[in-house]
Amino acid sequence: MTLSTLEKTEITGHSVAAKKPRRRLLSIVEFLLFLIVGLVLLEPVLKLAGVADEENYLLDDKIGWKPVPNRSATFRGEGYSRYKINSLGMRDKERTIAKPPNTFRIAVIGCSMTEGKQVPLDNTYCSVLEKQLNKDGGAIKYEVLNFAVSAYTLGQEYLRLKNFALQFKPDLVVFTARPNALLYMGPDLDKGFFNARPVFGVMPDGTLVEDHNFQRHWTASAEGKRVKNFTWLSTHSCLYGVVGKCAYSLAEYKKNFVARFYLKFVSKQRRKQILASLTLPGVDVRDSMKAQGVALDYLGKVAAAIVRESKSECDKAHCRFLLAYLPTQTRYMNASEQQIIHRFSEDMKLELVDFNPEFEHLQSVSLTPLYIDIHPSKFGHEKIAAYLKTQLEKKGLLKLSNGANSVESAVSSNVN
């Protein structure tokens, strides 16, 4: 081989060697660009399909969590609905804080039973009741405002009423209690976000106590910090929701795998360490009523104090107050809780509507299901609205609290 040929071969070899890193870099850049473009295009597709857009709550130091204003979401599982939280943070149509003239406002405070994400917005009992009240027209317009938020306890309902709903100057407040409401009032930090809420208790003299220690403990945990730091992504990105769901599912699978298989092959000491670090699932109160007796009696006192303070806030705001004990399937009925609610309502001389006797009969004769699982179906919401309307008229609660015979007569007297 001549010297010139050898030099050309060396130069060519160096050029090829120099181009290889550049080609690798270009390949990586192309891959990243295609990945970014693909993800950007995937986001609107997921949004249009309503995939992983259920995250519509913000952490709140006072109440635990609250809906994200103007957030669109899809609910699946028990029923189905696509809906939008209004600009004020309610699962309701757009409302104004200022009450329009010649309007009778009913504020409904509650949890998922009332929020009704299992059915379209127009089929919730609040929407149906508003339509029924306005069906005949007249000088007065009725507004039934839905302030309910899923997984709220009675204590959170009280805070929602006191700090938000009363700003709307309602003429009547319907304060709802879900089935087994007493048993769901305690903290359960193992379940994370939906149990990071204020807890309520009572002093020996019956004074209501509001405790945020459990809530702060969870918020300061690694999970709490992660949720808080990634709030924007979780409430705006469906893609992040998909990734989050996969990560959660993998974590649960790993937890179950460890619990079922790995523990069989480790030492007793190591087994104790692992069990101590595991977050074991709690007991579903629908299947176990062991929290009866003394515990339920105490929770009844707490519930009574919460309802009493809620009524007091309504008295200050010059609006009427109704306690509504919502219906449930017979197999989930808690007779002890029902007795407790009736007893303290009678002691406080509260207006009470217990839907359960009526709905127990309906459930036995109706061919159309009243419930999807534990929540009302479309038909169930219709029946709740009809029964509530009947009870409001029977109890004279569609009247002004200032002594006028009705809103219509008050309007007429103003005109005259």
pLDDT for 255 beyond 70: no
- The pLDDT value given to residue 196: 83
pLDDT for 148 beyond 50: yes
- The pLDDT value given to residue 297: 87
Pairing relationship of beta strands 320-325 and 172-177 according to DSSP bridges: parallel
Which of the four pLDDT bands, split at 50, 70 and 90, describes residue 71?
Answer: confident
- Select the more confidently predicted residue: 373 or 13: 373
Helices assigned H by DSSP within 102-237? 112-115, 125-134, 154-163, 213-219, 222-229, 231-236
Burial (CB < 10 A; 0-12, 13-18, 19+), residue 319, is buried
62 and 68 Cβ atoms separated by less than 8 Å? no
The rounded Cα 398 to chain-centroid distance in angstroms is 28
- Select the more confidently predicted residue: 364 or 32: 364
- The pLDDT value given to residue 289: 44
Between CA 219 and CA 193 the distance in angstroms is 9
- Select the more confidently predicted residue: 338 or 399: 338
- Select the more confidently predicted residue: 308 or 410: 308
> CB neighbours of 166 closer than 8 A, spacing ≥ 6?
107, 173, 313, 314, 317, 319
The pairs formed by 359-367 with CB atoms below 8 angstroms and a separation of 24 or more are 359/327, 359/328, 359/383, 359/387, 360/327, 360/330, 360/333, 363/329, 363/330
Residue 169, amino acid: K
- The pLDDT value given to residue 296: 84
Give the range with max mean pLDDT: 13-17, 48-52, 168-172, 248-252: 168-172
pLDDT for 21 beyond 80: no
Q: Which DSSP state fits 99?
A: P
CATH 3.40.50.1110 residue spans of the chain: 57-219+284-415
- The pLDDT value given to residue 187: 74
- The pLDDT value given to residue 119: 97
- The pLDDT value given to residue 6: 43
Which of the four pLDDT bands, split at 50, 70 and 90, describes residue 109?
Answer: very high
pLDDT for 68 beyond 80: yes
136 and 97 Cβ atoms separated by less than 8 Å? no
Between CA 340 and CA 296 the distance in angstroms is 9
pLDDT for 409 beyond 70: no
CATH superfamily, domain 57-219+284-415, is: SGNH hydrolase (3.40.50.1110)
Q: Read off the pLDDT of residues 322-373 as tens digits, 9 standing for 90 and up.
A: 999 999 887 788 888 999 999 999 999 999 999 999 999 999 999 999 999 8
Q: How far is CA 68 from each of CA 47, 229, 235, rounded to the nearest angstrom?
A: 16, 16, 8
- The pLDDT value given to residue 137: 86
Over residues 171-196, mean pLDDT: 84
The fraction of the chain above a pLDDT of 90, given in percent, is 49
Which of the four pLDDT bands, split at 50, 70 and 90, describes residue 72?
Answer: confident
Query: What is the pTM assigned to this prediction?
Result: 0.78
Task: Give counts: helices (H), strands (E), the chain.
Answer: 14, 11
Q: Which helix (H) or strand (E) holds 109?
A: strand 103-109
Dihedral sign for Cα 280, 282, 287, 289, please: positive
**What is the 3-state composition of the chain as percent helix, strand, coil, each rounded to the nearest 5?**
55, 15, 35
